[in-house]
Amino acid sequence: MKLFMPILISILFTLGINYNAEAEPDYTDYVPKYRSQNKNFMLTKIEYTSSEMVLHFRYVASRDEEIIYFPGSSRSTAWKLYTSGRRGSELTKYAKLENIMINGVLKAEKIEADTEPSFVAKNGEVIRGEAHFSRLPGNIRAINFKASTLGVCSDILVKEEDSPMLGTEEQMKSNENSFDRQLGDSGVSVVPESNAKKPKVENALKDEIVVKAKEPITYTPKELNSSKDLGCNTRVILKNVYFDDNSASYAGRVNALKTIQIIVDYMNYYPQSVIILHGHSDVLGDPVRNFELSKERILTVRNSLVLSNIDNDRIRTIAHGSSQPLPQFENGGKKNRRVEVELICKD
Protein backbone atom coordinates (compact mmCIF):
# COMPACT_ATOMS: atom_id res chain seq x y z
CA MET A 1 0.00 0.00 0.00
CA LYS A 2 2.78 2.43 0.88
CA LEU A 3 4.46 1.77 -2.47
CA PHE A 4 1.19 2.55 -4.23
CA MET A 5 0.57 5.88 -2.43
CA PRO A 6 2.95 8.06 -4.54
CA ILE A 7 1.23 6.82 -7.70
CA LEU A 8 -2.22 7.53 -6.21
CA ILE A 9 -1.20 11.05 -5.14
CA SER A 10 0.15 11.74 -8.65
CA ILE A 11 -3.12 10.61 -10.25
CA LEU A 12 -5.20 12.75 -7.88
CA PHE A 13 -2.99 15.77 -8.55
CA THR A 14 -3.42 15.29 -12.32
CA LEU A 15 -7.19 15.19 -11.85
CA GLY A 16 -7.07 18.42 -9.83
CA ILE A 17 -8.01 16.71 -6.57
CA ASN A 18 -6.16 17.78 -3.43
CA TYR A 19 -4.83 14.99 -1.29
CA ASN A 20 -4.03 15.64 2.36
CA ALA A 21 -1.25 13.25 3.27
CA GLU A 22 -1.55 14.24 6.92
CA ALA A 23 -5.26 13.50 7.22
CA GLU A 24 -4.60 10.02 8.64
CA PRO A 25 -1.50 9.07 10.64
CA ASP A 26 0.59 6.09 9.63
CA TYR A 27 0.28 4.91 13.25
CA THR A 28 -0.59 6.31 16.69
CA ASP A 29 0.98 5.92 20.12
CA TYR A 30 -1.95 6.03 22.56
CA VAL A 31 0.15 5.60 25.71
CA PRO A 32 3.17 7.93 25.41
CA LYS A 33 6.01 7.17 27.81
CA TYR A 34 7.76 10.20 29.35
CA ARG A 35 8.56 12.06 32.57
CA SER A 36 6.46 15.16 33.30
CA GLN A 37 7.34 18.22 35.38
CA ASN A 38 3.81 19.61 35.66
CA LYS A 39 0.91 17.68 37.18
CA ASN A 40 -1.59 19.72 35.11
CA PHE A 41 -0.04 18.84 31.74
CA MET A 42 -0.10 15.55 29.85
CA LEU A 43 0.50 14.07 26.41
CA THR A 44 -2.57 12.10 25.41
CA LYS A 45 -1.22 10.55 22.21
CA ILE A 46 1.45 10.91 19.54
CA GLU A 47 0.66 10.52 15.86
CA TYR A 48 3.32 9.57 13.32
CA THR A 49 2.98 10.32 9.61
CA SER A 50 5.51 10.10 6.80
CA SER A 51 6.40 13.77 7.37
CA GLU A 52 5.34 14.70 10.89
CA MET A 53 5.32 13.79 14.56
CA VAL A 54 2.19 15.27 16.19
CA LEU A 55 1.98 15.57 19.96
CA HIS A 56 -1.57 15.86 21.32
CA PHE A 57 -1.54 17.64 24.66
CA ARG A 58 -4.02 18.25 27.45
CA TYR A 59 -3.71 20.90 30.16
CA VAL A 60 -6.09 21.69 33.04
CA ALA A 61 -6.26 25.27 34.30
CA SER A 62 -5.82 25.56 38.05
CA ARG A 63 -6.99 29.12 38.69
CA ASP A 64 -9.69 31.50 37.49
CA GLU A 65 -8.93 33.64 34.45
CA GLU A 66 -5.67 31.84 33.72
CA ILE A 67 -4.04 33.38 30.66
CA ILE A 68 -2.39 30.81 28.40
CA TYR A 69 -0.09 31.85 25.56
CA PHE A 70 0.35 29.90 22.33
CA PRO A 71 3.46 31.10 20.46
CA GLY A 72 3.99 30.61 16.74
CA SER A 73 6.94 28.60 15.48
CA SER A 74 9.10 31.66 14.75
CA ARG A 75 8.63 33.26 18.18
CA SER A 76 11.43 33.14 20.74
CA THR A 77 9.03 31.38 23.13
CA ALA A 78 7.98 28.71 20.59
CA TRP A 79 7.26 25.23 21.94
CA LYS A 80 10.00 22.81 20.97
CA LEU A 81 11.33 19.28 20.76
CA TYR A 82 15.00 18.90 21.65
CA THR A 83 17.63 16.31 22.41
CA SER A 84 20.11 16.44 25.26
CA GLY A 85 23.22 15.52 23.32
CA ARG A 86 26.75 16.80 23.39
CA ARG A 87 27.39 20.34 22.22
CA GLY A 88 27.21 20.43 18.45
CA SER A 89 25.03 17.33 18.25
CA GLU A 90 21.82 18.73 19.74
CA LEU A 91 18.64 18.69 17.68
CA THR A 92 15.87 21.27 18.12
CA LYS A 93 12.54 21.48 16.29
CA TYR A 94 9.88 24.16 16.81
CA ALA A 95 6.16 23.43 17.01
CA LYS A 96 3.37 24.50 14.72
CA LEU A 97 0.36 24.64 17.05
CA GLU A 98 -3.07 23.67 15.75
CA ASN A 99 -6.64 23.00 16.94
CA ILE A 100 -6.42 24.79 20.29
CA MET A 101 -9.59 24.06 22.25
CA ILE A 102 -10.92 25.01 25.68
CA ASN A 103 -13.62 22.66 26.96
CA GLY A 104 -14.76 21.71 23.48
CA VAL A 105 -14.71 25.22 22.02
CA LEU A 106 -12.23 25.67 19.19
CA LYS A 107 -10.18 28.82 19.83
CA ALA A 108 -7.72 28.59 16.94
CA GLU A 109 -7.34 26.18 14.03
CA LYS A 110 -3.74 27.24 13.39
CA ILE A 111 -1.31 29.55 15.18
CA GLU A 112 0.58 31.65 12.65
CA ALA A 113 4.38 31.53 12.90
CA ASP A 114 4.89 35.17 13.92
CA THR A 115 1.96 35.48 16.34
CA GLU A 116 1.41 34.61 20.00
CA PRO A 117 -2.30 34.69 20.83
CA SER A 118 -3.53 34.07 24.35
CA PHE A 119 -6.76 32.64 25.71
CA VAL A 120 -8.35 32.75 29.13
CA ALA A 121 -9.37 29.52 30.87
CA LYS A 122 -11.32 29.13 34.11
CA ASN A 123 -10.30 26.92 36.98
CA GLY A 124 -10.74 23.26 35.99
CA GLU A 125 -11.28 23.86 32.27
CA VAL A 126 -9.47 21.55 29.85
CA ILE A 127 -7.20 22.93 27.15
CA ARG A 128 -6.35 20.61 24.27
CA GLY A 129 -4.29 21.06 21.15
CA GLU A 130 -1.74 19.66 18.74
CA ALA A 131 1.96 20.42 18.45
CA HIS A 132 3.18 19.54 14.94
CA PHE A 133 6.86 18.82 14.27
CA SER A 134 8.67 17.64 11.17
CA ARG A 135 9.57 13.95 11.43
CA LEU A 136 12.62 13.11 13.53
CA PRO A 137 15.72 11.37 12.17
CA GLY A 138 15.43 7.61 12.45
CA ASN A 139 18.27 7.25 14.94
CA ILE A 140 16.53 9.23 17.71
CA ARG A 141 14.88 7.04 20.32
CA ALA A 142 14.07 9.65 22.99
CA ILE A 143 13.23 13.34 22.80
CA ASN A 144 12.28 16.17 25.19
CA PHE A 145 9.32 18.52 24.79
CA LYS A 146 8.99 22.00 26.27
CA ALA A 147 5.58 23.68 26.09
CA SER A 148 6.80 27.08 27.31
CA THR A 149 5.59 27.49 30.92
CA LEU A 150 2.76 24.95 30.63
CA GLY A 151 4.88 21.85 30.95
CA VAL A 152 8.06 19.95 30.19
CA CYS A 153 8.03 16.30 29.14
CA SER A 154 11.42 14.61 29.33
CA ASP A 155 12.67 11.41 27.69
CA ILE A 156 9.64 10.85 25.46
CA LEU A 157 10.02 7.37 23.97
CA VAL A 158 9.91 7.49 20.16
CA LYS A 159 8.14 4.29 19.11
CA GLU A 160 8.20 2.38 15.85
CA GLU A 161 5.13 1.22 13.96
CA ASP A 162 5.60 -2.38 15.07
CA SER A 163 6.08 -1.49 18.73
CA PRO A 164 3.94 -3.63 21.10
CA MET A 165 3.62 -0.58 23.38
CA LEU A 166 1.44 1.63 21.15
CA GLY A 167 -1.67 0.93 23.23
CA THR A 168 -5.32 1.56 22.40
CA GLU A 169 -7.80 4.43 22.52
CA GLU A 170 -9.39 2.81 25.57
CA GLN A 171 -6.05 2.95 27.38
CA MET A 172 -5.66 6.62 26.40
CA LYS A 173 -9.08 7.45 27.86
CA SER A 174 -8.22 5.50 31.00
CA ASN A 175 -5.03 7.54 31.40
CA GLU A 176 -6.99 10.78 31.05
CA ASN A 177 -9.47 9.66 33.71
CA SER A 178 -6.63 8.73 36.05
CA PHE A 179 -5.01 12.12 35.38
CA ASP A 180 -8.28 13.88 36.32
CA ARG A 181 -8.66 11.86 39.52
CA GLN A 182 -5.16 12.80 40.63
CA LEU A 183 -5.91 16.47 39.99
CA GLY A 184 -9.12 16.09 42.00
CA ASP A 185 -7.12 14.69 44.90
CA SER A 186 -4.94 17.83 44.77
CA GLY A 187 -7.96 20.16 44.84
CA VAL A 188 -8.52 20.86 41.13
CA SER A 189 -12.03 19.93 39.99
CA VAL A 190 -11.93 19.17 36.24
CA VAL A 191 -14.83 20.69 34.30
CA PRO A 192 -16.52 18.18 31.93
CA GLU A 193 -15.71 18.92 28.29
CA SER A 194 -18.27 19.75 25.64
CA ASN A 195 -18.90 17.06 23.02
CA ALA A 196 -19.66 19.52 20.24
CA LYS A 197 -18.86 17.90 16.89
CA LYS A 198 -18.36 21.19 15.06
CA PRO A 199 -17.12 23.67 17.66
CA LYS A 200 -17.21 27.33 16.75
CA VAL A 201 -13.98 29.27 16.33
CA GLU A 202 -14.02 32.21 18.74
CA ASN A 203 -12.08 35.45 18.48
CA ALA A 204 -9.07 35.54 20.78
CA LEU A 205 -9.69 39.22 21.46
CA LYS A 206 -12.97 38.34 23.17
CA ASP A 207 -11.03 36.46 25.85
CA GLU A 208 -8.35 39.09 26.14
CA ILE A 209 -10.85 41.84 26.91
CA VAL A 210 -11.67 40.01 30.14
CA VAL A 211 -8.26 40.87 31.53
CA LYS A 212 -7.75 44.22 29.83
CA ALA A 213 -7.99 47.06 32.36
CA LYS A 214 -9.18 50.37 30.91
CA GLU A 215 -9.04 52.69 33.91
CA PRO A 216 -6.08 55.09 34.12
CA ILE A 217 -3.96 55.36 37.25
CA THR A 218 -3.55 58.62 39.14
CA TYR A 219 -0.42 57.69 41.09
CA THR A 220 3.08 56.44 40.41
CA PRO A 221 3.86 53.09 42.05
CA LYS A 222 7.15 52.93 43.91
CA GLU A 223 10.05 50.92 42.51
CA LEU A 224 11.18 47.54 43.76
CA ASN A 225 14.55 47.88 45.46
CA SER A 226 14.22 45.09 48.05
CA SER A 227 11.65 42.63 49.36
CA LYS A 228 10.59 45.26 51.91
CA ASP A 229 8.93 47.15 49.06
CA LEU A 230 6.48 44.30 48.47
CA GLY A 231 3.18 45.07 50.19
CA CYS A 232 -0.21 43.38 50.18
CA ASN A 233 -2.35 44.19 47.13
CA THR A 234 -0.05 47.05 46.13
CA ARG A 235 1.65 47.43 42.76
CA VAL A 236 5.39 47.97 42.60
CA ILE A 237 7.32 48.83 39.43
CA LEU A 238 10.10 46.37 38.64
CA LYS A 239 13.13 48.63 38.76
CA ASN A 240 15.43 48.29 35.73
CA VAL A 241 12.93 45.99 34.01
CA TYR A 242 12.26 48.06 30.92
CA PHE A 243 11.91 47.35 27.22
CA ASP A 244 12.92 48.98 23.97
CA ASP A 245 10.29 50.38 21.64
CA ASN A 246 8.20 47.64 19.97
CA SER A 247 10.11 44.97 21.88
CA ALA A 248 9.50 42.45 24.65
CA SER A 249 13.21 41.86 25.29
CA TYR A 250 14.86 43.37 28.34
CA ALA A 251 16.61 46.71 27.81
CA GLY A 252 19.52 45.74 30.07
CA ARG A 253 19.13 42.05 30.85
CA VAL A 254 21.65 41.79 33.70
CA ASN A 255 20.08 44.57 35.77
CA ALA A 256 16.58 43.33 34.96
CA LEU A 257 17.37 39.84 36.26
CA LYS A 258 18.84 41.31 39.46
CA THR A 259 15.47 42.91 40.19
CA ILE A 260 13.56 39.77 39.29
CA GLN A 261 15.78 37.82 41.68
CA ILE A 262 14.29 39.86 44.54
CA ILE A 263 10.88 38.38 43.68
CA VAL A 264 12.37 34.88 43.35
CA ASP A 265 13.99 35.10 46.79
CA TYR A 266 10.78 36.39 48.36
CA MET A 267 8.61 33.66 46.81
CA ASN A 268 11.08 30.98 47.85
CA TYR A 269 11.06 32.31 51.42
CA TYR A 270 7.24 32.44 51.41
CA PRO A 271 6.25 29.31 49.41
CA GLN A 272 2.51 30.10 49.63
CA SER A 273 2.85 33.59 48.15
CA VAL A 274 1.06 34.49 44.90
CA ILE A 275 1.74 37.49 42.67
CA ILE A 276 0.13 39.34 39.78
CA LEU A 277 2.30 40.72 36.99
CA HIS A 278 0.88 43.85 35.32
CA GLY A 279 2.16 44.53 31.79
CA HIS A 280 2.17 47.96 30.15
CA SER A 281 3.15 49.70 26.92
CA ASP A 282 3.70 53.31 25.92
CA VAL A 283 0.76 55.41 24.67
CA LEU A 284 2.23 55.97 21.20
CA GLY A 285 1.39 53.66 18.31
CA ASP A 286 -1.45 51.28 17.52
CA PRO A 287 -3.54 50.34 20.62
CA VAL A 288 -3.97 46.72 19.51
CA ARG A 289 -0.23 46.27 18.98
CA ASN A 290 0.43 48.00 22.31
CA PHE A 291 -1.84 45.52 24.04
CA GLU A 292 0.04 42.62 22.43
CA LEU A 293 3.35 44.15 23.56
CA SER A 294 2.13 44.41 27.15
CA LYS A 295 1.21 40.71 27.07
CA GLU A 296 4.57 39.75 25.60
CA ARG A 297 6.40 41.75 28.28
CA ILE A 298 4.48 39.92 31.00
CA LEU A 299 5.48 36.63 29.38
CA THR A 300 9.16 37.67 29.37
CA VAL A 301 9.11 38.33 33.11
CA ARG A 302 7.00 35.27 33.88
CA ASN A 303 9.38 33.05 31.93
CA SER A 304 12.31 34.43 33.95
CA LEU A 305 10.51 33.54 37.17
CA VAL A 306 9.57 30.04 35.96
CA LEU A 307 13.14 29.40 34.81
CA SER A 308 14.14 30.24 38.40
CA ASN A 309 11.85 27.41 39.55
CA ILE A 310 8.86 29.52 40.61
CA ASP A 311 5.68 27.51 40.02
CA ASN A 312 3.63 28.96 37.16
CA ASP A 313 0.46 28.46 39.25
CA ARG A 314 1.69 31.16 41.65
CA ILE A 315 1.92 33.81 38.91
CA ARG A 316 -1.13 35.62 37.58
CA THR A 317 -1.00 38.12 34.75
CA ILE A 318 -2.97 41.18 33.60
CA ALA A 319 -2.25 43.05 30.36
CA HIS A 320 -3.12 46.75 30.32
CA GLY A 321 -1.70 47.83 26.95
CA SER A 322 -1.41 51.62 26.80
CA SER A 323 -4.42 52.30 29.04
CA GLN A 324 -2.38 53.08 32.18
CA PRO A 325 0.50 55.45 31.42
CA LEU A 326 2.34 56.86 34.41
CA PRO A 327 0.87 60.27 35.35
CA GLN A 328 4.09 62.12 34.48
CA PHE A 329 4.27 60.36 31.07
CA GLU A 330 0.66 60.65 29.86
CA ASN A 331 1.91 61.98 26.51
CA GLY A 332 4.46 59.21 26.09
CA GLY A 333 7.72 58.04 27.59
CA LYS A 334 9.89 54.92 27.70
CA LYS A 335 9.12 54.34 31.40
CA ASN A 336 5.56 53.47 30.41
CA ARG A 337 7.03 50.29 28.90
CA ARG A 338 7.13 48.52 32.25
CA VAL A 339 5.98 45.54 34.31
CA GLU A 340 4.65 45.84 37.84
CA VAL A 341 4.35 43.18 40.53
CA GLU A 342 1.52 42.95 43.04
CA LEU A 343 1.58 40.65 46.07
CA ILE A 344 -1.80 39.00 46.64
CA CYS A 345 -2.72 38.58 50.29
CA LYS A 346 -5.71 36.79 51.76
CA ASP A 347 -8.32 38.81 53.62
Which of 115, 150, 185 is where one domain is finished?
185
Q: Is residue 136 part of a domain?
A: yes
Q: Is residue 14 part of a domain?
A: no
pLDDT: is 199 or 136 the higher one? 136
Range of the domain at 112: 19-185
Query: Is pLDDT at 65 greater than 80 in this prediction?
Result: no
- Asked if 281 and 227 sit in the same domain, the reply is yes
pLDDT: is 53 or 87 the higher one? 53
Query: Is pLDDT at 273 greater than 60 in this prediction?
Result: yes
Query: Is pLDDT at 293 greater than 50 in this prediction?
Result: yes
- Asked if 44 and 151 sit in the same domain, the reply is yes
Q: Is residue 9 part of a domain?
A: no
- Asked if 260 and 304 sit in the same domain, the reply is yes
Q: Is residue 205 part of a domain?
A: no
Query: Would you say 340 and 236 are in contact if contact means Cβ atoms under 8 Å apart?
Result: yes
- Asked if 27 and 172 sit in the same domain, the reply is yes
- Asked if 132 and 173 sit in the same domain, the reply is yes
For residue 12, the model assigns a pLDDT of 47
The answer, as to whether pTM is greater than 0.85, is: no
Query: Is pLDDT at 88 greater than 80 in this prediction?
Result: no
Q: Is residue 1 part of a domain?
A: no
Percent of the chain with pLDDT over 90: 37
Q: Is residue 243 part of a domain?
A: yes
- Average pLDDT over the chain, rounded to an integer: 82
Tally of domains in the chain? 2
pLDDT tens digits for range 91-119: 899 999 999 999 888 888 999 888 888 88
Question: What are φ and ψ of residue 281, in 5° steps?
Answer: -130, 175
Band of pLDDT at residue 209, cut at 50, 70 and 90: very low
In terms of average pLDDT, the best of 38-42, 50-54, 120-124, 248-252 is: 50-54
Query: Is pLDDT at 256 greater than 70 in this prediction?
Result: yes
Query: Is pLDDT at 186 greater than 70 in this prediction?
Result: yes
- Asked if 34 and 173 sit in the same domain, the reply is yes
For residue 22, the model assigns a pLDDT of 45
For residue 205, the model assigns a pLDDT of 35
Percent of the chain with pLDDT over 70: 85
Query: Would you say 131 and 153 are in contact if contact means Cβ atoms under 8 Å apart?
Result: no
Average pLDDT over residues 277-291: 88
- Asked if 175 and 76 sit in the same domain, the reply is yes
- Asked if 229 and 166 sit in the same domain, the reply is no
- Asked if 234 and 138 sit in the same domain, the reply is no
Which of 146, 168, 185 is where one domain is finished?
185
CATH code for the domain of 324 = 3.30.1330.60
Which of the residue ranges 5-14, 143-152, 180-189 would you say has the lowest mean pLDDT? Answer: 5-14
Using only C-alpha atoms, the chain has a radius of gyration, in whole angstroms, of 22
Q: Is residue 5 part of a domain?
A: no
- Asked if 47 and 170 sit in the same domain, the reply is yes
Band of pLDDT at residue 208, cut at 50, 70 and 90: very low
Average pLDDT over residues 283-299: 87
The CA-based angle 294-320-225, given to 5 degrees, is 75
Amino acid residing at 41: F
pLDDT: is 14 or 144 the higher one? 144
For residue 93, the model assigns a pLDDT of 92
Average pLDDT over residues 280-304: 88
For residue 169, the model assigns a pLDDT of 93
Average pLDDT over residues 194-212: 41
In angstroms, the Cα distances linking 167 to 23, 44, 51, 176, 187 are 21, 11, 22, 14, 30
Q: Is residue 231 part of a domain?
A: yes
- Asked if 26 and 60 sit in the same domain, the reply is yes
- Asked if 164 and 82 sit in the same domain, the reply is yes
Average pLDDT over residues 184-192: 85
Query: Would you say 339 and 301 are in contact if contact means Cβ atoms under 8 Å apart?
Result: yes
